[in-house]
Amino acid sequence: MPGECTPQLRETIENTIRFLAVDAVNAAKSGHPGAPMGLAAAALELFDNHLRFDPSDPDWPLRDRFVLSGGHASMLLYSLLHLYGYALSLDEIRQFRQWGALTPGHPEYGLTPGVEVTTGPLGQGFAHAVGMALAARMTRSRFGGAPNAEQAPPGEHFVYGIMGDGDMMEGISSEAASLAGHLGLGNLVFIYDDNQITIDGPTDISLSEDVPARFAAQGWHVSSTIDGQAVGEFSEALKAARGETERPSLIVLRTVIGRGSSAVAGKNKAHGAPLGAEEAARSKQALGWPTEPAFLVPDEVRTYFEGRIGAKQAARAAAEARHQVWREANPERAEGWDAARDRKLPGNLGDLLAKGFAGVDDSTRKHSAAVLERLHEVVPYMVGGSADLAGSAAPPILKEYGIVGPGAAEGEDPYAGRNIYFGVREHAMGAVTNGIALDGTLLAYCGTFLIFSDYMRPSIRLAALMKVRSLFVFTHDSFYVGEDGPTHQPIEQLDSLRVIPGLTVFRPADGVETAMAYAWALQRAEGPVLFSLTRQGLKAVDRLEGFELEDVWKGAYGVREPGRSPDVVLVASGSEVSLASEAAEGLAERGIEARVVSMPSLELFFAQPEADQLALVPDDGTPVVAVEAGRGESYRRLVGRRGLIIGMAHFGESAPAGKLAEEFGFTPGAVADRVAEHIAGA
């Protein structure tokens, strides 16, 4: 009968997957054929009989998600996406790893239809999947309504994934698994490809722990080890995992890397190099596969998948019918879900957020906390938390909106709250936040001290690479941290973050700039946004007549203008704006007139027309001086090769903030002296 998968046809399909991978890696002369060869049987079973999706609509909100955490095995995923009818042609498979192809070396979100997250840095895909599963649970809690078999509310999908020994060794996976177990994410199912091989050799040269026992200790439901070819047993394990609603599940699968190749099967040679033409031919012959042509998809395989594609789309239609029943039974919930998916916002968001902040002295971390409270009032789909630093307003716990997880009030749905206690898990926190954003319903933020952005950098980079709208809220952003000393005083972090392509960094100087930074992030951003906030209190910026709130969105604007052409232009952000303004007053007493420019976002400033940039920060010989309580090299483009940056060329010290300012030359008098000396020597 059409669509029937006999054992012989299944073997043919598995070999189709294997040899599409082998041929693609050979053609590219680089790649990883081993894992696709070993995982073909299990991956086919997962996609064919368990995963809910519609290849004609990769972004269908009710779909299950699949994450290939070991992104080096990308040809496994590309082969499946091609066979199931995604917009990924055989020509794209032939162009694996080539310029402009939809089949890059590692899966890239937003490029290849059907890829849910960019993977490659090991452990990151797994940690992002935890965020995706959490987002689904929180979505179901907010919008699902009472359980009803006749309805299909949002958030009832599963998140599946495959991870390997490399993922297991990366520290981020331990953090993420711990959080997933703590939160009881029963909709998360991961397959552990335990092929016992790494690039350098057998795993026992570097890994000897009992991985399943580790996951069990972290609160996971763990299967016994299953042979990678025992698809019936594997299918039952998947069913059992879906039935385990209170715990995430790990299915341990023992596969043979490079299965089918006598030369590399079970060896590290299969991991990161092509088989080569001769070994590929021998492997094909051993498995009864034609040696020619390359990239073969037999007619019976095409016919089978045509039927399966139709079945997947029929299942989607049935789910949509039940989803419509849910909509009709829950019109307010449906309206709220649509508003979240469409990112609906008040048209006057900037005015709402900035109201009352003019003239208010305070730290920008406290301004940020106040802005977040206002945001939660008008943006009910916001969620977030910090890495055990809520008491430091990084960001705060908003008690009126409930806690996610075991901290929820007795009798409350543990996923109904908006506040997430990430714990001291910065590595996982960034990835989980991205995963929530990738789900597409909730707007997620997270935060910690700026110095610990170093722990989160891979996740921040992936957010920028994927263009996901994660919000990273960092406080204690300079040596003014004070007594905690150099280990906690960020010096080079701002510069290193500003050079990440696609990341917009705001370092606001007061409450108005903080509010407008958040407004821009929600209304204008097309990727992640990072907020760099002060621990210490700041004077509110005294703005010039004619200032408009959206001037902040230009990245820079003047806050002090002399009555004649300036002798010098002082550029600063954050806590140094008020310092530069005070220094300018001291310079005026010496007959040196300074323009002061607040530059909350270098990225937005450099995105302005060049004429607008030059009108504010000229390139006509007028000296430009930048002031920042960090390395400050981000401003080199503005000040020039011989220009002056009053920054930090060394790490900090442990002492009260005021003492550090004196010793490091960050007082109005010291800044004025440096500027005057610079002008005199220019």
Q: Cα(300)–Cα(23) distance, rounded to whole angstroms?
A: 20
Q: Cα(67)–Cα(198) distance, rounded to whole angstroms?
A: 20
Catalytic residues: 426
* Segment (H or E) for 136: helix 124-143
Q: Cα(549)–Cα(515) distance, rounded to whole angstroms?
A: 9
- Per-position DSSP letters for 398-415, written without gaps between them: -GGG-EESTTSPTTS-TT
Q: Cα(247)–Cα(216) distance, rounded to whole angstroms?
A: 10
Q: Cα(316)–Cα(87) distance, rounded to whole angstroms?
A: 18
| φ and ψ of 58, to 5 deg | -60, -25
3-state secondary structure of 472: strand
Distances (CA, A) of 595 to 275, 547, 577, 590, 624: 65, 15, 12, 15, 9
Do 363 and 534 contact (CB within 8 A), yes or no? Answer: yes
Q: Cα(310)–Cα(312) distance, rounded to whole angstroms?
A: 5
Do 462 and 124 contact (CB within 8 A), yes or no? Answer: yes
Q: Could you identify the residue written with the tokens 């190749």?
A: 261
**Cα 539 versus chain centre, distance:** 34
Q: Cα(313)–Cα(57) distance, rounded to whole angstroms?
A: 10
Do 135 and 185 contact (CB within 8 A), yes or no? Answer: no
Q: Cα(41)–Cα(136) distance, rounded to whole angstroms?
A: 28
